[in-house]
Structure 1
Amino acid sequence: MKLLSIAIPCYNSEAYMRHCIESLLPGGDEVEILIVDDGSTKDRTAEIADEYERKYPGICRAIHQENGGHGEAVNTGLRNAEGIYYKVVDSDDWVDEAAYQEILSTLRRFVCGEETLDMLISNFVYEKQGAKRKKVMNYRTALPQNELFTWDDVKVFMLGQYILMHSVIYRTELLRECGLELPKHTFYVDNIFVYQPLPHVKTMYYLNVNFYRYFIGREDQSVNEEVMIGRIDQQIRVTKLMLGYCDVTKLKKRKLRRYMVRYLEIMMTVSSILAIKSGTEENMAKKKELWQYLRKLNLTLYLRLRWGFLGQGTNLPGKSGRKFSIAGYKITQKFFGFN
């Protein structure tokens, strides 16, 4: 059995997938690298995946499937994973080697010991093209360091400080037991990957190392703002799915409840801001429908989000209100370094 399975969803990724795979090879025989070719047709992605499987048998595995989108590639990786832990690394991203070794050492310690670790968290770096200063997302103020802890031990997450797919490694069986299955042909499902399993997580460990390097800068990238506006239906779909996974207002663990509510708050905010920035009445109607959907689904949660700081900021009336909402979003965007 492998210590860690790493899935790399690849779709026409010839230009950058080698860099990603090469950064993961130093994990050696303890790691399996699942290169999931998601129906690539425009380049040599499939051939490169096969090449690495031939060159590194027992470490790299090439898996070919019909195109199902990023989420289905993650699902396929999970279905094929033989590792005790599971990580997703996107094909245009990479990892830091020194931090990688610390990650593996930590996982190894828990596998060999008596305590069970459900989720390991580490930092990630925004490798934003053209940016002089690289933003690091760390969790020093929110999580205890270098010790096994539970939700009761979590401190306060600041605004903009969220655990994302880039920062998390889950125990493989936990993901399977919680029934994680991401929707096909849908972007932004990484939010579901991180969010849905949280109520099942009992133990966590935070390693304060800059492990994951998250590249931002391609024009066709899913987090490009214009692309996001064009895919607002998918952003809203993911948000609705997340709203329905469980009634977060009834979670018994207070700090888990607070964190998950705040995650839903930012999902509602992003969907609302994209609708406002699009400038179309059609998308504004979709924004209104999303809030109405939440109101019918869970009135308690609706009141909490609608009249919270971000909810009020994204529902200001008139053109001047919309301008104010966008200005506030831009300030937040610049401060936290996302997109």
Structure 2
Amino acid sequence: MKLMSFAVPCYNSEEYMQKCIESLLKGGEDVEIIVVNDGSHDNTREIAEDYVRRYPSIVKAVHKENGGHGSGVNKGLELASGLYYKVVDSDDWLDETALKTLLDTIKKHRTENVLPDLYLTNFVYEKVYEGGRYVRRFTKNFPVNKFFGWEKVKKFHTSSVLLMHSLIYKTEKLRESNTVLPEHTFYVDNIFAYKPLPYMKKLYYLDIDLYRYFIGREDQSVSRENIVRRYEQQIRVMKEMAAAYSYEEIKSFPKGLKRYVLHDLGVIMTLTMMFTTGGKDNPTKRKRELKELWNYIKAKDKKLYRYLKYNTYPVIVDWMPFKLQGRTMLMGYKFFRAVLKCS
């Protein structure tokens, strides 16, 4: 069995997917690379098939109708045969030295029969066009190079949350969580980094800068213009997360997991409010849909609604007029980009 299955969802990725795939090939025969061509109209298919011909024991390619990023993640998991599963977006890449460290660690743990359910690593915001980078590490949250459970996880602060880039799930545990991402929806990585967590009992954190997260393309989903324009998709993601576990279920989680899950929900709800209030187009519609989101959560789970409404970051701006909420959220967004150098 391969140690790792890498899924690479691609849509019109001809300009950058080769850098991504080449970085994964450094794993050699210990890995499989599943290139999921999500209905591309450029040369993505031809590039993927060329890699299959050159590396038949490592690279697989699947070509499907367009279903969005979540559809690519779902298809990759369906086809994965590796012990662990990781998604690498086609414009991102992995560090060679860190990948070797990760694979050597997995080999050691497999030999000792002590494999964890989840490996965690750092990731790096690579702002190529600006010549800058910012490392998101978790040494203040997790024991380093040790097995641990959620009871050992320390508190996360402000906007710090686990992103898909930090997570390497054990494939069987991820499938057990029944995490199926919505199609034709951006920002589903928030669900992928949330719903499986209660199924991960045994964790291991490596303080290595594995994942390189490219920031800077104008068409990226995380650009300010796009996140504001696609606010309805973020609302859809927030609904999925709010419906995944009830407040009572969350309260029954181990202390560290419970605290993190509630923190994560608060952060994502804040982002959803920023997406929705930050646009100048259709303010009446945006205001109505944000109200509908709150009503959806309230009808689904009153305790979770009260927690999110009155005990997390939204309470800071929720009392403000809608336009003032948007201006305040925009100021916060600019702060985190400029001061914390993240996106």
TM-score range, shorter chain: over 0.9
Work out whether residues 117 and 173 of structure 2, in 8 Å CA contact, stay in contact via their aligned partners in 1: yes
**1:49 CA drift (Å):** 0.3
Specify every segment of 5 or more residues in structure 1 that has no aligned partner in the other structure, as ranges. Answer: none
Q: How does 1:150-189 map to 2 (within 5 A)?
A: 150-189=149-188
> Identity of counterpart residues, as a percentage?
45
Which runs of structure 2 are paired with 1:252-267 in the superposition (5 Å)?
Answer: 252-267=253-268
Match of residue 62 from structure 1? 61
Q: Secondary structure at the match of 1:83?
A: coil
Alignment of 1:120-139 (within 5 A): 120-139=119-138
SS in 1 for 2:40: coil
**TM-score when scaled to structure 1?**
0.96
Aligned mate of 2:330, from 323, 326, 329:
326
In the alignment, structure 1 residue 206 sits paired with structure 2 residue 205: yes
**After superposition, what is the alpha-carbon deviation per residue over 1:231-264, rounded to whole angstroms, capped at 9, x for unaligned?**
1111100110011011144333121111111111
Conserved? CA contact 1:269–1:314, under 8 Å: no
1:314 touches 1:322 (CA, 8 Å); kept in 2? no
The equivalent residue for 1:299 is 302
2-structure distance, mates of 1:66, 1:130: 32
CA distance in 1, matches of 2:230, 2:290: 13
Measured in 1, the distance between the counterparts of 2:96 and 2:13 equals 22
Given that residues 272 and 314 in structure 1 are in contact (C-alpha distance below 8 angstroms), is that contact kept between their aligned partners in structure 2? no
Read off the aligned partner of 1:301 and give its amino acid letter: L
The letter of the residue matching 1:2 is K
Partner of 1:23: 23
Instruction: Give 5+ residue unaligned stretches, structure 2.
Output: none
Q: What's the CA shift for 1:132?
A: 4.2
Q: Secondary structure at the match of 1:143?
A: coil
AA paired with 2:130? A
Opposite residue 278 of structure 1, the aligned amino acid is G
Whether the 8 Å CA contact 1:5–1:34 is kept in 2: the answer is yes
Structure 1 residue 52: Cα displacement: 0.2
Aligned to 2:37: 37
Deviation at 1:320, TM superposition (A): 4.3
TM-score by length of 2: 0.95
Cross-structure match for 1:338: 342
Structure 1 residue 227 corresponds to structure 2 residue 203: no
* Higher mean displacement: 184-193 or 293-302: 293-302
Which residue number in structure 2 is paired with residue 101 of structure 1?
100
Within 5 Å, which residues of 2 pair with 1:78-89? 78-89=77-88
Contact 2:116 2:147 (C-alpha < 8 Å) held by counterparts: yes
Aligned-partner residue type, residue 191 of structure 1: N
Give, in whole Å, the separation in 1 of the partners of 2:215 and 2:125.
7
CA RMSD for the aligned pairs?
1.5
Where does residue 75 of structure 2 map in the other structure?
Answer: 76
Match of 1:186, SS state, is: coil
Matches within 5 A, 1:41-52: 41=41, 43-52=42-51
* Residues 320 and 188 of structure 1, relative CA distance in 2, 3 Å threshold: closer
- Call closer, same or farther: CA 1:309–1:117 in 2, change over 3 Å: closer
CA gap 1:327/1:97 in 2 versus in 1, 3 angstroms: same
* Farther-moved stretch of structure 1 (20-29 vs 251-260): 251-260
* Deviations 1:259-314 (CA, angstroms, capped at 9, x unpaired): 11111111111111122211322112211221222222222222222123511223
Summarize deviations over 1:43-73 as a string: whole Å, max 9, x none: 1100000000000110111111111111111
* SS of structure 2 residue aligned to 1:205: strand
Equivalents in 2 of 1:250, 1:139: separation in Å? 24
Q: What letter corresponds to residue 291 of structure 1 in structure 2?
A: W
SS of aligned partner of 1:195: coil
Q: Give the 3 Å change call, closer, same or farther, for CA 186–309 of structure 1 in structure 2.
A: closer
Residue aligning to 1:239? 238
Separation in structure 1 between the aligned mates of residue 324 and residue 146 of structure 2, nearest angstrom: 49
Give yes or no for contact 1:37–1:62 (8 Å, CA) kept in 2. yes
- In 2: Cα distance, 1:71 partner to 1:186 partner: 7
CA change 1:322–1:223 in 2 (3 A) is closer
Aligned to 1:12: 12
Deviates most, 270-279 or 18-27:
270-279
Which deviates the most, 218-227 or 286-295?
A: 286-295
Report Cα offsets for 1:305-334 as digits up to 9, x if no partner: 212351122313224454334323432343
Matched residue SS, 1:2? coil
Q: Distance in 1 between matches of 2:66 and 2:324?
A: 43
Q: Is the 8 A contact 1:316 1:325 kept in 2?
A: no
